Structure 1
Amino acid sequence: MGSPPSARKQLQVTVCNPFIPPAEYRQEMVLALECIGKHLSQREFKALVFKKLRLEDPAPTEYQYLQSAVELTVCAHYALNFPSDFVYEDKVVPPRDVDCSFRSEGCKFNVEVKCADYTTKHEIDSDSEFIIGAIGRLSDYNDAVAQLQETFASGGNTLAKGLHMDNKLKHYLYDAHEKFPGGADLSQYNVLVVGCDDPWDMQQWEGYLTGPQGLFTDDSFADASRYSNVDLVVLTNLYHRHKSVAEKDKLTGHWTFANAFSLLYENPRSKKPRSMLYAFSRTLRFYNNEVIEHKMEGDAPDFLKERLAISHYVGHVLWSSGQYSFQPKSWKSRQGGNEAG
């Protein structure tokens, strides 16, 4: 636990980071910092402000800022709601640490937060008229793409291959596994939170877990023993909510985890009692039940409806009722005819 606020010197900060616009977004960030600051030492707090969030840096790396913003949003949520047992950067398996830990309903929860670098993906999306993607790993995917690219080229068009990021998720799982206590320790529950982008991006990340050769399936493309310590993955759109804030006028409460769109995915190899999963699920807002119960109309096969359920639910339920956990403008512009798969 860090020093109490009264024991720390007040920091004088001039915000120069261009990814932190003034007004509400910046004010909410201050509140998140004040919340988590109660649990940090002076050294830890300065590292968070200047090295992670880069508040006084006029030219920070956007990816580094977004990772830190997602991390702070998650940690501040648990510091606010479980203050008596919250630990920032808890060394549960020394010398490495997880981003935070807390206790609820008699269980200890260890939380690691990851956020992908989308720079290459955004370049492909912005430079390509047509993009093809896939849910999960398909054995004949590359051949199918090559054939379609020839077809598009014959018509004078270019078809780009969308960036597949399942190897990033594999790396996150492997890394978190090494930070978490072993799966046989039934006193602790280990959670990996992954910051994602728009609804279709979240659909793809779900596919990395549950689609063909998905990491949480029986035929995982990776060595499942190397991430068996991870009991649960939370996919959340916090990356989307912190990326290009000034362009997303429908979003509010960017620094509030409960305002995000989150989905929970249990590792089928987890040996922890189901009661621990349920206890953790009560610590955040998630949409698994709503997405599962949402029924898509039409004659499409059930497996296809399942693979479109997230984006369809967001578009036809949340946006239609004026609920904006996602920014609709960016999503609709992507769906204006440039997705080929």
Structure 2
Amino acid sequence: MMIDMEINKLVQDAEATHPLKVSLRKETRYYTDFKQVVHTLAKKMTKEQIRDYLKNKLLLSQNYNQEAYLQSATELSVIVKFLNIPFSDFQYERPINGTNKNPECSVVSNGFIFNVEAKCPILPSKESLKSNGKQVLVYKNAGRAPNLKDAKDAFINMKIDLEKNNENLDVKQWNNKDNTMKDFLESAHVKFADYRNEKEINLLFVALGDEFSLQEWTNFLYAAQGLFTRNSFADPRNYSRVDAVILSNLRFRHENNEKVNGNAWNIDEAFVLFLCNQLRQANKKEAFSEILKYIHSYTSDVNNHQIQWTANSDFQYPSELLNVLKVISFIREVLENENKYLWLKK
């Protein structure tokens, strides 16, 4: 096992802007929690594997790049999560039989096999929406429009009308990243084997940012032409091996580690949604029940949540409208009212 002195030396020698070096200098918990992460890796990874991960994937001996670091920090959080559940076998980056690709890890626990892949997308920057001191109104599609030309024309007309009546307003359209979600699913699909049995489950973790990104990426899966719906805009056969997607705010927590409550490395302290692929190859009911013993998800709470501004209304809001707002509503109306702040400290 790598001793703390060796970890400390690697971090001290890293570039000045590296988050772990910043944490060490400021004496925040991000670095001390990281050391516990490294000790956990020693359960099943060799000293050489750990040293290579820290130097090359976490960039402690490389030029620092934020996006590359966040991807590797995400992978590490997910790997450690599965090292902390009861297992009889754990394989790090070992190709699954029938493929020449390797997911982050494969775990055998209580007779079940969990194959795990992790991704951290580059998210659109809100800084890019600033507009010379004007107020910015951002337009987003929830899912895909049935006719792209009509949708573009409607946006242009709306933009013209709104800006004509308010010279201090700039209406912008948000870039839809559903193709990135499709790419993640298809990339994970080729790392997993075709259906073998009901006790093997394939999981894709995606680390996201603020509350709006969790809502947006949920919509990529379940809103109009969503990837997990029967009228998906992509061919479901190209990602049918992925049984579930686990969305979390891990990216935000790593990126803002000084400003969040708790341990930014620990996925159990993050906001998590466990989202089943309705187009998967098999039911795998027992495997789903088993994995959900170890993953704390807010999915059922979100599904059962009633948006407050509809509770006392006689108007019957369309379910399609309510469903694409539920995640944000649940976070604001339930979690924050219970003083559970999983993003910034209050």
Q: TM-score, normalised by structure 1?
A: 0.87
Aligned partners of 2:87 and 2:110 also within 8 Å: no
Which residue in 1 is equivalent to 2:250?
A: 238
Which residue in 1 is equivalent to 2:122?
A: 117
The gaps in structure 2 that reach 5 residues or longer are none
Q: 1:174 aligns with which of 172, 179, 186?
A: 186
Which residue in 1 is equivalent to 2:300?
A: 289
Q: 2:319 aligns with which of 302, 307, 318?
A: 302
SS for the counterpart of 1:29 is helix
Output one character per residue of 1:4-53: Cα deviation in whole Å (capped at 9) or x when no partner. x389x955413435223232011101111110133212332122101111
Which residue in 1 is equivalent to 2:39?
A: 34
Q: What is the CA distance between 1:302 and its match in structure 2?
A: 3.4
SS for the counterpart of 1:158 is strand
Which residue in 2 is equivalent to 1:102?
A: 107
Which residue in 2 is equivalent to 1:13?
A: 10
1:201-220 equivalences under 5 Å are 201-220=213-232
Q: What is the CA distance between 1:316 and its match in structure 2?
A: 1.4
Q: What is the CA distance between 1:126 and its match in structure 2?
A: 4.7
Cα RMSD after superposing both structures? 2.2
SS for the counterpart of 1:14 is helix
1:239-254 equivalences under 5 Å are 239-246=251-258, 248=259, 250-254=260-264
SS for the counterpart of 2:125 is helix
1:44-123 equivalences under 5 Å are 44-57=49-62, 60-93=64-97, 94-118=99-123, 120-123=124-127
User: Are 1:275 and 2:282 counterparts?
Assistant: no
| CA radius of gyration, larger in | 2
Q: What is the CA distance between 1:175 and its match in structure 2?
A: 0.5
The gaps in structure 1 that reach 5 residues or longer are 330-341
Q: What is the CA distance between 1:317 and its match in structure 2?
A: 1.3
Output one character per residue of 1:36-81: Cα deviation in whole Å (capped at 9) or x when no partner. 1332123321221011111245x51111111111111111011122
SS for the counterpart of 2:106 is strand
Which residue in 2 is equivalent to 1:153?
A: 163
| Larger displacement relative to structure 2 (287-296 or 205-214) | 287-296
Q: TM-score, normalised by structure 2?
A: 0.86
SS for the counterpart of 1:234 is strand
Q: 2:334 aligns with which of 314, 317, 322?
A: 317
Q: What is the CA distance between 1:125 and its match in structure 2?
A: 4.0
SS for the counterpart of 1:70 is helix
Output one character per residue of 1:93-128: Cα deviation in whole Å (capped at 9) or x when no partner. 44320001112231101000011012x434434557
In structure 2, what is the Cα distance between the partners aligned to 1:302 and 1:284? 28
Structure 2: which amino acid aligns with 1:42? Answer: K
Identity value in percent: 26
State how many pairs are aligned. Answer: 320
Structure 2: which amino acid aligns with 1:197? Answer: G
